Amino acid sequence: MIQVKELTKIFKDRKRGEVRAVDGISFECKPGRIFGLLGPNGAGKTTILRILSTILRPTSGTALINGADVVEDPLKARRQIGFLSCDTKLYGRLTPREMVFYFGRLYGMKEDAIARRAEEIFQLFGMKDFIHRRNDRLSSGMQQKVSIARTIIHDPPVMVLDEPTFGLDIMASRAVIQFIRKCREEGKTVILSSHVMAVAEKLCDEIAIIHRGRILATGTLKEHQERTGKEDLEEIFVHLVGEENGANIGH
Amino acid sequence: MNLRNIKIIYRKELLDSLRDRRTLISMVLVPILMFPVMILGVGIIMGLVISKAVQKGSKVVIVGESFGESLASKIQEKEGVEVVEMENYEIALRKKEIQTVLVIPKYFEESLARADSTELRILYDEAELRSQMAEKKLREVILDYRDEVVSERMTSRGIEKSFLEPFVVTSVNLASKEKMGGMVMGLFLPYMVIILSLTGAMYPAVDMTAGEKERGTLETLMVSSASRKEMVLGKFTMVFTASVITALLSLLSLFATFALGSSLTISILEDFPFSIQPLGFVTVFFMMIPLSAFFSSLLMMISIFAKSSKEANSYIHPLVFIIVLPAMVSFLPGVELNSLMAMIPIVNTSLVLKEVLMGTYHWGNIGLIFLFNFLFAALGLWGAIGLFEKETVLFRV
Ligand SMILES: Nc1ncnc2c1ncn2[C@@H]1O[C@H](COP(=O)(O)OP(=O)(O)OP(=O)(O)O)[C@@H](O)[C@H]1O
Ligand SMILES: [Mg+2]
């Protein structure tokens, strides 16, 4: 369960002055469902997800991760989360096994619990034959599997995924999509960001379209279709963003 | 704060560093090889150059040989000296065809017989090793000859030797061997060890912070449930370890080099009789510990701020110059440790190491400096943690 309340993040940029990357956003993601943040570059998707994973602190507002406040108790919130993004790279000189054990230990798990869980994950993702090779010598598909293993070693109830299929080939992104569906089946709360319409269309139970730090519309694909009268998510997206830009010019 | 997390991070950084060739080079290889290469290398090369010069001998032109035949024959007898004949001897000297020229004035022997004083002139080239050596040899022969002449004159007039030498002066050096060796070592060893422990901390500090930002692994670490403070402390402990290992290895290597050097009787090492008591070694090492901690925290502060390894290095290079200067205070004769100096980081360590190497132990000062440097290290660490907790520093764009 994720409850986002009036979340705002302002960056002070030397050149651009104040940047409102997230501007008073509220929404809720329920367990067993996949919530998608869809928006163009610079919309604020990464910033929202970084706040949820407590890497960044919000300027105002807050979010609760299974009841743990990301501002008040970031350590507790972090333990509930598995966070995966393009910016969470692997330690090149460690092996997948060492990587996974390192994070398991940092999450406070016991050695035998880590070993059991790791075994399960390596089995599930077919990683057995490369868990003793160095991370920097793995293909990007293998690396993505290691990253996923790192993300779920502590079996978190909430998954926060920033562009989870970015830069992956068809086979690797299929594997990731399967993994995300499995998380839903297990009753985890999943939030992901994407600017690839197909991924959002295929995966998400609920989609929030965001633009310039604000949510333009939230709902299921069907609800979006009914509201805008367009079939395709891309059309819906262009329609909403166009409307917003039109409204801005009108002011 | 959770000690277990600090330990987990430290262990991982240690493993990571041991797999990194560059850390191993800066932490192990450089401190071990630095002194042998420097001292033995220079010693061996100098030895080779000198022995080559000795082997070759030196060619001397004697101008006016007929005016001083007995002197000329003594020069001819001298080992390693070859008397040659040449017209344009000054040009030949410049062209290094000969090494020295002795000019004997007209009527030299006649003036000796009259017990007059006259002048012998040696031409040589101070910038040439072989010419320098030849001049020395020539001077030896001539001075021996002069002594002979003097004693002949004295016996012919019935004067005792003590007439010219009413007394002899003997200076007795009471400095212990340790102090003599320590004096020479005290000049440059503190400087070398300080700089090496700085360089030992440099690469790991940059690699574990700015390097992680650059490689995108810092964000991965930050979503783990360790706190920022624990991350800094874990990483700091590893940087500190690297720095202490570097200092220890460089000290060991230095002493091994001297031990080996004196058994090989390398000429420049014979001039530096160096021995250190175990107490001196242990004290020097212990004094390096808080300084290493200070360097580690300082370097971490800088490289936490930097966006990339490149940026971190561009801040660290000027810092090295700033640190080199106070480290060199041990070179200055007459600068003594006092309570004011004891409070200046780096300067205090440089001076106290110099004292210890010369066999002087002011335990009060030693304790004070030990504590002061740890205080500076704590300040640096506090700054590093503060920076690491700031998202404007971690996500600088
Ligand atoms: N550390 C920072 N300092 C200053 N501005 C920032 C910082 N991080 C992000 N921004 C700005 O905040 C805005 C939102 O960025 P964000 O990365 O959240 O967008 P995004 O939706 O993830 O975009 P993309 O699809 O390109 O990943 C952008 O204008 C960005 O330039
Ligand atoms: Mg993004």
Query: What is the SS3 assignment for chain A?
Result: CEEEEEEEEEEEECCCEEEEEEEEEEEEECCCCEEEEECCCCCCHHHHHHHHCCCCCCCEEEEEECCEECCCCHHHHHHCEEEECCCCCCCCCCCHHHHHHHHHHHCCCCHHHHHHHHHHHHHHCCCHHHCCCCHHHCCHHHHHHHHHHHHHCCCCCEEEEECCCCCCCHHHHHHHHHHHHHHHHCCCEEEEEECCHHHHHHHCCEEEEEECCEEEEEECHHHHHHHHCCCCHHHHHHHHHHHHHHHHHHC
Q: What is the pLDDT of residue A251?
A: 47
| A72 and A102 inside one domain | no
Residue A145 shares a structural domain with residue A51: no
CB B315 within 8 A of CB B302: yes
Q: What is the pLDDT of residue A85?
A: 93
Residues A7 and A76 in one domain: yes
* Tokens at B201, concatenated: 């901390």
Residue matched to tokens 């022995």 = B51
Shared-domain flag, residues A71 and A162: yes
Spatial CB neighbours of A43, under 8 Å, sequence gap ≥ 6: A210, A211, A212, A213
Check whether residue A61 and residue A185 sit in a common domain.
yes
CB contact under 8 A, B219 and A79: no
B21 touches chain A (CB under 8 A): no
- Is the distance from the beta carbon of residue A12 to the nearest atom of ligand 1 less than 6 Å? no
* B392 in contact with ligand 1, CB cutoff 6 A: no
The residue assigned the tokens 């070398």 is B192
For residue A98, list chain B residues with Cβ-Cβ distance below 8 A.
Answer: 12, 15
Give which of B214, B306, B393, B396 is closest to A13, Cα–Cα: B396
Domain identity same for A40 and A164: yes
What pLDDT is stored for residue B182 in this prediction? 64
Q: Are strands A206-211 and B58-63 parallel, antiparallel or unpaired?
A: unpaired
Give me the numbers of helices (H) and strands (E) for chain B, helices first please: 18, 4
DSSP B175: S
Judge if A181 and A217 occupy the same domain: yes
Domains parsed from chain B with CATH numbers? 3-42+179-394 (no CATH), 57-163 (3.40.1710.10)
C-beta separation of B93 from B100 below 8 A: yes
Write down the pLDDT at residue A162. Answer: 95
Q: Assess B223–A contact: CB distance below 8 Å, yes or no.
A: yes
**Is residue A123 domain-shared with residue A163, that is, in the same domain?**
no
Residues with Cβ within 5 Å of ion ligand 2? Answer: A 46
Choosing among A11, A50, A100, A102, which should be mutated to test the B contact, i.e. which has the most B CBs within 10 A? A102
User: Best interface-test mutation with A: which of B214, B223, B231 has the largest number of A CBs within 10 A?
Assistant: B223
- Other C-beta atoms closer than 10 Å to the C-beta of A72 total 10
CATH of the domain at A195: 3.40.50.300
Q: List the domain range (segments joined by +) for residue A125.
A: 89-155
CB contact under 8 A, A90 and B220: yes
**A77 in contact with chain B, both atoms CB, cutoff 8 A:** no
**Do A62 and A164 belong to one domain?**
yes
Say whether both A183 and A75 belong to one domain.
Answer: yes
A57 ligand 1 Cβ < 6 A: no
Q: What is the pLDDT of residue B331?
A: 81
Q: Mark whether A63 and A110 lie in a shared domain.
A: no
Is residue A46 within 8 A of residue A85, CB to CB? The reply is: yes
| Chain B interface includes A92 (CB < 8 A) | yes
- The protein residue whose alpha carbon is closest to atom 24 in ligand 1 is A41
Q: What tens-digit pLDDT sequence spans chain A (251 residues)?
A: 999 999 999 999 888 889 999 999 999 999 999 999 998 889 999 999 999 999 999 999 999 999 999 999 999 999 999 999 988 999 999 999 999 999 999 999 999 999 999 999 999 999 999 999 999 999 988 999 999 999 999 999 999 999 998 888 888 888 899 999 999 999 999 999 988 888 888 899 999 999 999 999 999 988 988 888 888 888 888 888 888 777 665 44
Q: Tell how strand B58-63 and strand B81-84 pair up.
A: parallel
Q: Does B208 touch chain A (CB under 8 A)?
A: no
> Which of A83, A93, A106 faces B16 most closely, judged by CB atoms?
A93
Rounded Cα distance between B378 and B96, Å, is 62
Predicted TM-score (pTM) of the model is 0.84
Which of A14, A79, A91, A153 would you mutate first to test chain B, the one with the most B CBs within 10 A? A91
Any ligand 1 atom below 6 A from CB of A39: yes
Is B51 in CB contact (< 8 Å) with chain A?
A: no
Q: How many domains does chain A have?
A: 2
Contact A160, A66 (CB under 8 A): no
Closest C-alpha among A16, A131, A133, A6 to residue A62: A6
B286 lines ligand 1 (CB under 6 A): no
Residues of B in contact with A55 (CB under 8 A): 219, 222-223, 391
B192 in helix, strand or coil? helix
**Same-domain status, A162 and A248:** yes
- pLDDT value at position A61? 97
| A85 C-beta closer than 6 A to ligand 1 | no
A10 and B CB contact within 8 Å? no
Spans of chain B, pLDDT less than 50 = none
